[in-house]
Chain A
Amino acid sequence: MTSIPELPAAKPNVAWRQIGRPLERTDARGKAVGTTRYAGDYTMPNMLHVKVLRSTMASAKLRRLDVTKARALPGVACVLTAAELPDRLAPTDIPGQTGREREKTDQQILVRERVRYFGEPLALIAAETKDIAEQAMALVEAELEPLAGVFDPIEALKPGAPVVQGEGNVVAAQKIRKGDIAKGFAEADLVIENTFRTQFIEHAFLEPEVGLAWVDESGVVNIRVSTQVIEHFRYVADALGVPHNRVRIMGALVGGGFGGKEDVTVEIYLALLARATGRPVRLEYSREDSLVGHGKRHPFVMTYRTGVKKDGRITAVEARFIADAGAYVFLSPYVLLYAVVAAPGPYRVDNLFVDAKAVATNNMYTSAFRGFGAAQACIAYEQQMDEAAKALGMDRLELRRRNYLRTGDKISTGVPIRSAVWSDRCAEQAWAALGEPTKVSGPVRIGRGLAAYQQSYGRITWLHDTSEGWVGVEVDGTVIVRSGVTDIGAGQASALAQIVAEVLGVTLEDVVVYNSDSAVTPLAGTTTATRALYMTGNAIKLAAEAVRGRLVARAAKELGVEPGEVDMASSRVFVADHPEKSLSFADLVKLAAAEGIHRSELAMFRAPFSDKIDPETGQGQVHPDYAFGAHAIEVAVDTETGEITVLKSVGAHDVGQAINPAAVEGQIEGGAVQGQGYALSEEMIYREGRLMTPSFSEYLIPTAMDVPPVKSIILESRSGLGPFGAKGIGEPALTPVAPAIANAVADAIGVRIPDLPITPEKVVNALRGRASKPGHSAGR
């Protein structure tokens, strides 16, 4: 294994041949013709079918759990309860390639005594058929004694509130103290104060959680599973009490993730049952299991005070966040940190005060979701910017222009931005692309809104993230990539093929990527945090460049020139200034193979590493770098019915360098529509912790009827830390959309509705000057 390899001076490609082209993704055709196998499409002979029995209460004591009748049902192979499990916990801290000691976030695998959320698993049932497993569920006798619960984070902070777990309900706190907040507000001509609320949001990936596990002849537990993180083999091993090298996780092409398959899903249940039964076991969540059974996006209550001068300059920001962590910690501390870092947005704020708490309740636990706290903060700071512009009587884009960060400015945590900050260009281009306002009549009003953002790409720097990748050339001139990266639908594997094709001067068709198998592909880290292209792309590029360097050196000898004069393209190796002096890539590889020249490379890419931030001031490095951009929206609002129609939706993002512009557009378009659902229609409603929206007929994600065609504007500063200067687009695509829509609605009706989702009922009530009935979610 090497780190950054020493390369012979190979001439870099001046004009890229593969990078920046909207190529058909390598995975697209198989998916379109229906030959792609997802994790749920694998079966094995003699396989058992698994169901998970869940709690029907959100806060209770498990008095009795009698599974005798279920076990006696013919066809039931195994029923596991906490009584049969080793006294072990499931780790829930941040996964992946980090040796960092994890926080104390572990949770029970099955309920032993105390139920803390609706749907918490009580028992696992494995049977010969799914039908029998379902029948056995009905035979389990579970006696639950209701206990007082707490369902609102603000209530949970009060003295005497029921404690969900441990000492108190604050599971994480973060703060920033930068500059002099009192001085900043003293200098302000105007102080704008507002409170914004966001709701529980569901990932709604189309492929529910699914996996298949078996124990092989070496005693290794093999798990084929739909996941963003194959490195969970470690947490599964810890939960079983076996060494880490005794669990293997294989992914498959994933049917959507968005953060919802970042935590462990079915892996531990499958591993326990495979070991208990000695047979292959398969578990596929129903949609209701999925909606009930995985963590949601954190609802936030965000109170902002923003001080501005008459000329628009921000003098101070004070932000207070309360996030609902639900019943278990999971990634709440990190989500909260992202929100805090993003609190001022892409603006220079020298005097900044942020206090944030994540608070336990008996609601569903909350964890990773595309945007990861920074999206919630954007919903508040961008509405706050529009309110400030309104109060100052200033153009909304102009107010932003006067405050945008510039390269070299210090962000919220006191470290300077090193890459390009093209917020202004992105905002201007997105806004201009809205064109002429749509003409309407009658009770319909048109409104426009914009939101800019700052979103990290890459993981928290003190996790010391790494990614390994392998590139090798076969003797016939074809290329193999091995990378642990999971492909969750954004084309992560295809992007690697495109990078390698660029470096080795071959085509996409010449490259095959083997990915996401913890036993045979080098561990690349998680597909989370907008890090897959940045980290894995860099690792694979390093590996490909090392192979290229050795091949170029051999070609130079053959062609009688210096290595610096050799170039590779179109599967040929040639003298750059005399392309007629050449040999085929395949012939060169044969030459190299015959002489024992090493035709493969395992490379590691390391992200920048920092110490933890100062907990009292929040100052220090948190992320490797940040992406910037903006989204613009035009809506039509019917002032009689409250109906909101999104007419135009334009995302403009500096992605550094688009590896595949079609794939980048796909991210922007998908993010725009997810963000639209976040703003207007989606809400996981919990009543006393019980989920009231357990299907897609109650939890409403946008359909083809609800959305306009999305326009994508890709800007390329080539200033990012990723391969070829790339930044990232996975999370940024979503982050500014909901606040842009909120701003457009406020522009249309002249009243701001500070609580998402902005439903027709809220619009009508706001226009009649009435408060909307509090939502079903706790404490609203």
Chain B
Amino acid sequence: MSREKIIVLEVNGRRHLKAFPAHRTLLEALRELGFFDVKCGCEKGDCGACAVLVDGEAVDSCLTLAWTVEGRAITTAAGLGTAENPHPLQDAYAKLGAVQCGYCTPGLIIASESLLRATSAPDDDDIRLALSGNLCRCTGYTKVFEAVKEVARGRAIGGRK
């Protein structure tokens, strides 16, 4: 067994102390800590279901070792908003029917948020490219594009709904 080390992971604004071995991925660590909104789809960086923000940028948590993100700000989809007070992307995904089975949804929302933080007025190609690492087998992406565009428009005119 590999050596374990106690590390501090800052997730959704709270610090979590836990021992992990060196080979433990951030995906596994987050799920061990109870962040079930981080989904395991492939463990190879092919599907994006496990995407989280690390210092505001989307990464595949299955390709990130837990030890390497100690002290950095990790945000999961559940950290963006709640049912009562959803993030605009969460609201738009739900309202516009961009959610079907929902398994890819947290990762897609993280990728969308990462895009919108980097690009204030993304065009269609920006959106496609930003979401191309997130596989969805249910929606055909059509309503996902609509949801991201709606939120981008809302931000462009300066309002967070």
Contact = CB atoms under 8 A, between A and B. Distances in A.
A253 B139 CA distance: 16
B81 A695 contact: no
B140 A131 contact: no
Interface in B73-90: 76-78, 80-83, 86-87, 89-90
Interface stretch (B33-41, B53-61, B63-71): B33-41
Given A34-B77, A697-B46, A206 B41 contact: yes
Interface in B98-149: 99-106, 109, 127-129, 131-146
A28 B140 contact: no
Contact of A256 (B89, B101, B134, B146): B101
B22 interface: no
Contacts of A131: 1
A672 interface: yes
Given A256-B101, A673-B140, A703 B106 contact: no
Nearest to B148: A704
Given A33-B90, A665-B143, A666-B138, A705 B129 contact: yes
A131 B28 CA distance: 12
Given A287-B44, A705-B132, A206 B137 contact: yes
A698 to B, nearest CB: 9
Contact of A253 (B47, B102, B133, B146): B102
A696 B62 CA distance: 14
Nearest to B146: A709
Interface in A487-544: 488-491
Given A28-B94, A490-B100, A704-B132, A695 B46 contact: yes
A562 to B, nearest CB: 41
A670 B101 CA distance: 11
Interface stretch (A35-43, A93-101, A436-444, A746-754): A35-43
Interface size bracket, B side: 35 or more
A284 interface: yes
A279 to B, nearest CB: 19
Contacts of B82: 33, 35
A205 interface: yes
B137 A284 contact: no
B106 A34 contact: yes
A696 B103 CA distance: 16
A673 B141 contact: yes
B44 A41 contact: no
A503 B132 CA distance: 42
Contacts of B96: 662
Interface in B17-54: 36-37, 39-44, 46-47, 49
Interface residues of A, number: 57
Interface string A661-674: 01101100111111
Interface in A15-36: 22, 24-25, 27-36
A284 B41 CA distance: 11
- Most-contacted residue by chain A among B47, B106, B138, B145 (CB, 10 A): B138
Nearest to A256: B101
A207 interface: yes
Given A33-B90, A286-B43, A710-B142, A204 B106 contact: no
A666 B137 contact: no
Contacts of B127: 704
Contacts of A663: 97
B72 interface: no
Contacts of B77: 32-34
A190 interface: no
Contacts of A662: 96-97, 143
Given A35-B83, A206-B39, A704 B94 contact: no
B124 to A, nearest CB: 9
Contacts of B39: 38, 206-207, 255
Contacts of A41: 36
Nearest to B78: A34
Contacts of A490: 100, 138
For B83, B87, B127, the residue with the greatest tally of chain A CB atoms inside 10 Å of its CB is B83
Main secondary structure of the interface of B (DSSP, over half): loop
A697 B44 contact: yes
A254 B86 contact: no
B11 to A, nearest CB: 12
B97 A25 contact: yes
B88 to A, nearest CB: 11
* Residue of A34, A490, A669 ringed by the most chain B CB atoms within 10 A: A34
A654 to B, nearest CB: 20
A255 B102 contact: yes
Contact of A24 (B37, B95, B128): B95
Contacts of A728: none
Contacts of A697: 44, 46
A666 B132 contact: no
Nearest to A40: B40
A707 B49 CA distance: 19
Contacts of B97: 22, 24-25, 28, 662-663, 665-666
Contacts of A673: 139-141
Contact of A695 (B44, B78, B86): B44
A701 interface: yes
Contacts of A488: 101
Contacts of B132: 703-705
A33 B78 contact: yes
Contacts of B100: 489-491, 666, 670
Contact of B102 (A489, A669, A710): A489
A55 to B, nearest CB: 22
- Specify which of B36, B46, B94, B140 lies most central, judged by the most chain A CB atoms within 10 Å of its CB: B140
Contacts of B93: 28, 32
Contact of A489 (B76, B94, B131, B138): B138
A203 B42 CA distance: 14
A723 interface: no
Question: Which of A206, A669, A707 has the largest count of B CB atoms less than 10 A from its CB?
Answer: A206
Contacts of B143: 662, 665-666, 669
A669 B101 contact: no
Given A28-B99, A32-B94, A707 B141 contact: yes
B142 A287 contact: no
A258 interface: yes
A669 B142 contact: yes
B135 A670 contact: no
Contacts of B134: 703-704
A30 B83 contact: yes
A208 interface: yes
B48 to A, nearest CB: 9
Which of A253, A490, A695 lies at the interface centre, i.e. has the most chain B CB atoms within 10 A of its CB? A695
A207 B41 contact: yes
Nearest to A661: B97
A29 B94 contact: yes
Most buried by A among B94, B129, B141, B145: B141
A286 B43 CA distance: 8
A307 B113 CA distance: 57
B137 A258 contact: yes
B35 to A, nearest CB: 8
A704 B111 CA distance: 12
A662 B41 CA distance: 26
Contacts of B137: 203-206, 256, 258, 670, 674, 701
B108 to A, nearest CB: 9
28 contacts: A24-B95, A25-B97, A32-B105, A33-B80, A33-B90, A35-B78, A38-B36, A38-B39, A40-B40, A204-B137, A206-B101, A208-B41, A256-B103, A287-B44, A287-B47, A488-B101, A489-B100, A662-B143, A666-B139, A674-B140, A695-B42, A695-B44, A695-B46, A696-B47, A701-B137, A704-B128, A704-B141, A709-B142
Interface of B: 1, 36-37, 39-44, 46-47, 49, 76-78, 80-83, 86-87, 89-91, 93-97, 99-106, 109, 127-129, 131-146
The 8 lowest CB-CB distance pairs between A and B, nearest first, are A489-B101, A34-B37, A31-B102, A255-B103, A34-B78, A673-B140, A669-B140, A696-B46
